[in-house]
Amino acid sequence: MDYLPLFLDLKQQPVLLVGGGDIALRKARLLNSAGASIHVVAQQIGEDLKTLLSDSRHLLLERSYQASDLEEVVLVIAATDDQQVNREVARQAKERKLFVNVVDDASAGSAIMPSIVDRSPVVAAFSTGGKAPVLARMLRQQLESMLPAGYGQLASLAGSFRKKVNSRFSQLNDRRYFWEKVLTSSAAEKAIQGDLAAAESIFEQQLNDAEATDVGEVYLVGGGPGDPDLLTFKALRLMQQADVVLHDRLVSEQVLSLCRRDADFIYVGKKRDRHARPQEEINQLLVDHAREGKRVLRLKGGDPFIFGRGGEEIDTLAEEGIPFQVVPGITAASGCSTYSGIPLTHRDYAQSVRFVTGHLKDDSYNLNWHEMVDPSQTLVFYMGLMGLPRICDELQKQGRPSETPVALIEKGTTQEQRVFTGTLANITEQVSANKVKAPTLIIVGDVVSLHDKLKWFKPAGE
């Protein structure tokens, strides 16, 4: 994150605006709407700017900028059409440890002015860090259409109920659950439509009927293979309302960052021969946090029911009487093969596909190898990097030809994705030479030969 988003209370606060033209006028409108006391310094100040800032709290000085203008201000905006002047203002402001925004020159300043969608008291602001202002404006236009003007009325109504809600519920989680329920109810819809009397009545009724929560709920959510764009809508919604997040090492940082920021994060990841926490302890954590009335997110890479031990976890929850939901995710076999241009089935190459774990619960490889020799069947091995030599050897012993195509996909669907192709006879050598690291997925079968023709995903730097 290049910049920390921050909302400033500038009411009656002195802000220096250097410049008097159209650019300065646009900045002055924003500052004025925020209640700032604007000190304008410019050799010539436009009539529109003078009219806008005719209030006595503002100061207009038609002269050249001076370093002394920086005294007793809390924020500086350099908005002249002279880049040299703007940079000098910025340099002197930084020397005084003042935040300064330089129009159309983000690198010269220490603050940027975001694109704003104003539904006061709801205000949305976003930025491209000065790199693509036109894109920021386009995004603003989209957001303007998504946020009805009535959201401001809804926020104001909610604010008027805060004290009542705080008095009704002593626990933070109970208050949060109430708000999430009422803000997606008919009360919210009435407020957005402008029918505040009806909205207030429904608010009151729901508050009177609400009860404190004794037991929370567990969300078992598949986070997919790594690309956050592959999350389902339901997964994202539950991720953003969970109080506690238990996550494993296969959940990408990009996916994890979409969880609610103020949730408690607990890492329970596993690596081969090294578990951060035993599975029984993870199961108990889910139960314990839910019994505290919390909403618990168990976030797993891929799909929780495909080699994700999700069944073991909800078995415990069911025995303990803990409510739960399960949200499927795109499993690694589907995501990684697709992003590698390898269709798992193709009527000219394979009519079935088999998902196989690379090692069993006791780390053995006691698999039904004799069932995996059919050339019309694609094999997908999860967690098979360490066992790759054994996998290739066993398949050849059972009669699968040594020239059978094999692909190994590292960090599939992410910008670090790498795909290595070869055969049962030589793929191990390629993996060793390229220092491949988990997470990986192994695909065995004739469909791998389509990779060069069908690959479409281009990771950064490729």
DSSP assignment of 101-170 equals EETT-GGGSS----EEEEETTEEEEE--TTS-HHHHHHHHHHHHHHS-TTHHHHHHHHHHHHHHHHHH--
Domain 217-330 maps to which CATH number in 2.60.120.10, 3.90.1150.10, 3.40.1010.10, 3.20.20.70? 3.40.1010.10
Q: Is 196 helix (H, G, I), strand (E, B) or coil?
A: helix
Whether residue 122 contacts residue 152, with contact meaning beta carbons closer than 8 Å, is answered with yes
pLDDT averaged over every residue in the chain: 91
pLDDT band, very low/low/confident/very high, at 275 (cuts 50, 70, 90): low
Q: Which residue has the higher pLDDT, 169 or 410?
A: 410
Exposed e or buried b for every residue in 291-307, given b needs 16+ CB within 10 A? ebbbbbbbbbbbbbbbb
Whether residue 21 contacts residue 1, with contact meaning beta carbons closer than 8 Å, is answered with no
Among all chains, which residue has been given the structure tokens 């567990």? 218
Give residues with Cβ within 8 angstroms of 458, minimum separation 6: none
* CA dist., res. 411 & res. 304, Å (int): 18
Instruction: Give the start-to-end residue ranges of the domains of the chain.
Output: 14-113, 151-209, 217-330, 333-454
- By mean pLDDT, which of 163-177, 267-281, 408-422 is the weakest? 267-281
Choosing from 270, 374, 393, 446, the catalytic residue is 270
> In this predicted structure, what is the pLDDT of residue 359?
64
Say yes or no: domain 333-454 is CATH 3.30.300.30.
no
> In this predicted structure, what is the pLDDT of residue 148?
81
> In this predicted structure, what is the pLDDT of residue 363?
55
Q: Say if 14-113 and 333-454 have the same CATH topology.
A: no
Among all chains, which residue has been given the structure tokens 């505290």? 292
Choosing from 174, 243, 248, 303, the catalytic residue is 248
pLDDT digits (tens, 9 = 90+) for 2-52: 888 899 999 999 999 999 999 999 999 999 999 999 999 999 999 999 999
Give the mean pLDDT of 223-237: 93
pLDDT digits (tens, 9 = 90+) for 338-390: 999 999 999 999 999 999 987 655 555 678 899 999 999 999 999 899 999 99
Whether residue 440 contacts residue 384, with contact meaning beta carbons closer than 8 Å, is answered with yes
Is a pLDDT exceeding 60 seen at residue 273?
A: no
14-113 CATH = 3.40.50.720
Active site includes 248? yes
Give me the percent of the chain exceeding a pLDDT of 90: 68
Whether residue 374 contacts residue 400, with contact meaning beta carbons closer than 8 Å, is answered with no
pLDDT band, very low/low/confident/very high, at 185 (cuts 50, 70, 90): confident
151-209 CATH = 1.10.8
E strand intervals along 280-332: 295-300, 324-327
* CA dist., res. 214 & res. 211, Å (int): 9
Give, rounded to a whole angstrom, the gap between the first and last alpha carbons of the chain: 24
